[in-house]
Every structure is written in structure tokens, then in C-alpha cells.
Amino acid sequence: MAAGAAAAALGREGGEDAFRRLFRFYRRRDAADLRGVVDFSAPGGQVFRSQLSVSSVSDQDACRAGLQPVSRWKAYGLNGYPGFIFIQNPFLPGCQRHWVKQCLKLYTQKPNVCNLDLHMAPEKTADLWGQSKEKLRRKGSSKCEPRSLLEKLRWVTLGYHYNWDTKKYSANHHTPFPSDLAFLSEQVAAACGFRGFQAQAGILNYYHFDSSLGIHVDESELDHSRPLLSFSFGQSSIFLLGGLKREEAPTAMFMHSGDIMVMSGFSRLLYHAVPRVLPNPEGTALPSCLDQALSTDLPVGSVIEHSSDEDWQVCAKYLQSSRINMTIRQVLAEGQKFPEESGTNTESQISSEDGHHQENSRAKRHKPNMDS
């Protein structure tokens, strides 16, 4: 049976919820058996071109964020998923490197929070980049080599820090949101019709080839009228987008380096998951879009910074077996405040091991249940 037909048949079966069946289906299929996965680089079927608000973002502001003019973006929607927008790599040559470096070198620094804080002293997690770069640079192909701290990183939170236990944000656990990432997010949101979007919280997920992201809904933000933005860099993945209930079979799609997804309106509160991380389809160590050099002539006010060759060597080695995803959210509407809570403290905010980010590893299994 062809992969698409097999996936459709699984979605129609009774009993166990349809989403979990398809999650397991794509989790275990070999890479050659993925014909049922939507590929936006060759759109067809339920895919259609999405109209963007070209006038909402000047070409100069797009360039300052490392993006092509909005008029050149290739944006798509999916029948049955109003409010879902897929933007196929709109980044200017070399600009993805900036965001990769930020996710590995800058955003991992304190006061931001990461999973390693749960079992390591603060001084041990203060400079993950500095403690990892030489080990990464020298890393060979052997799986027996000890992992660097960056390779043990699973998530980082920014701005309002998500509490993995209570599944809430709070006013008393907040640190400054990175200004460059806020500017990028504002431009993408405006292009999708959401002018005035405020980047208030971010969850960065760090995946390896044996990682997955469990089935979940992003509903903890108090303002659901604003979109969820998702940026991917490095190796590819399969993303599953479902319905309002887990009984609804999801649609599978590829996400490649540089791709952006926007979930808004009806699609803002849909179940979704990442069952698989895959080698990029070009068959090279890194996708060609990451081999492109950054222009030496950056515009005035650009948030993009040049990476040194030394820094990029470390990033490139990391990405040969990894994928980084940034999800950006607006937590509160304009003028909205958090409800009063008692007994909340900073320590309790990070007490859960890995949230819904999972990894199947012979050395260490972060969660016993594959589907959260």
C-alpha cells in the first residue's frame, strides 16, 4: 500500500485516536516511504497560494530582518485549515546563519531558561557555547563520543517563561525578550495580516535525528487572537497538523531549513506534533541555503550580524545532525494582565524535565511515553 493510502487508512480506523496512530506511522516509516507528506516545494492537491499583506512591511524593514521583500515570498495555505500559512524560506542569502548562531550562542545565555538548569548548578549552564564549541568543532562521526552541553540542550524559553508543569505563563517569571527576534517576528506577523504583533514569549526546541515533539495544542497564551509563529533551521522534519480533537486525522507536511509556519484563527488551537527529524532532501551535510554567505553590505539598522568563520564552523557541525525550531507567541492582548495567582515562584517554573519534547535514545530516554 502506498504511504499516502496507508496513512489515510490509519486515519479512518476506530479505537485509538487517529492522531496518535499517524504519529506512530510517520515516526517509524523509513525516509523512502513518505509519499503522503505534503511538500510545499512542489505544491499541489490541497495546497493553494496564500495572499500576504505586501504593503504592511517595507522592503527596507524586511531586509533589516534578513528577509526578502514580501512580494517575493512564496506563501501557501491548506484546504481545511483556515488561518494556517506556510512560507517557503523567505530569508535572504546567509541570514539563516544569524538566527542559528543566536539560538546556540546568545539565546542560551542567562537569564534565559533551559532544560539543563534542572539538574546543573547555575555556573555550569552560564556559558553553554563556551563549554561546547571546541568539543563540537572536533566532533567525529562516532556515536560513542561524549556529547557536549549544547548537544544535551532540548529547550530554551525567552520572555515570559513557560511553566512545563502548570502549562501557564506568569508575570513574575519574565526576562527581556531578544530585540532582534522580536523585530523578525513583527515583520512576519505584519506580512500575514497581524500588524501590532508583540513577541512576548519564545520556546526554542533543539532536535536531533532521534528526537520528536509530542502531540499538543499551544493554548496557554491568554490572547488566542494573535498568531503562533514557527521558524525552522537545519535538518528537515515532518510536521503533523490535526484538528480540534485528537480523533481527527492530521495532515503531514515537510518543514525544511528557513521555512516559516503561521498558525492563526481557526488553526491557532489545532493539535500538532513533529514525529520525525529527517536529513535534508539534498542529501548533503547541510542544505545549500545554509552554505550561502551573508552580504557584506547590510542595511542601516539591520538586526542581522556577521558570524565569524570560527563560530559558523561550530554551528555547522551542530546542524549536521540537528534541527532548531523557534516558536514565538504573544501572551497578552494590549492592556491585558495575568490573573492573580498565589504561591508562584521562579523555581517551580522549570521543574518539569522536558515538557513535550522527546528523544528516543539508547543512552537516555527523557520520557517513557512517546506521545504526550
Binding site for Fe cation: what residues are annotated?
Answer: 216, 218, 272
Tell me the CA distances in angstroms from 332 to 59, 93, 193, 339, one per residue in order.
Answer: 29, 34, 18, 11
Question: For the sheet containing 357-359, what is the strand order?
Answer: 251-255, 236-241, 272-278, 211-216, 357-359
Annotated binding site: 216, 218, 272
- The helix/strand/coil state of 283 is coil
Q: Is 41 exposed, middle or buried (0-12, 13-18, 19+ CB in 10 A)?
A: exposed
Hey, how many other C-beta atoms are within 10 angstroms of the C-beta on 328? 27
Residue 178: asked if its preceding bond is cis (omega within 30°), the reply is: no
What DSSP element (H or E) covers 122?
none
Angstrom distance (rounded) from CA 107 to CA 321: 20
What is the CB-side half-sphere exposure of residue 238 using CA atoms within 13 A? 30
Angstrom distance (rounded) from CA 38 to CA 269: 21
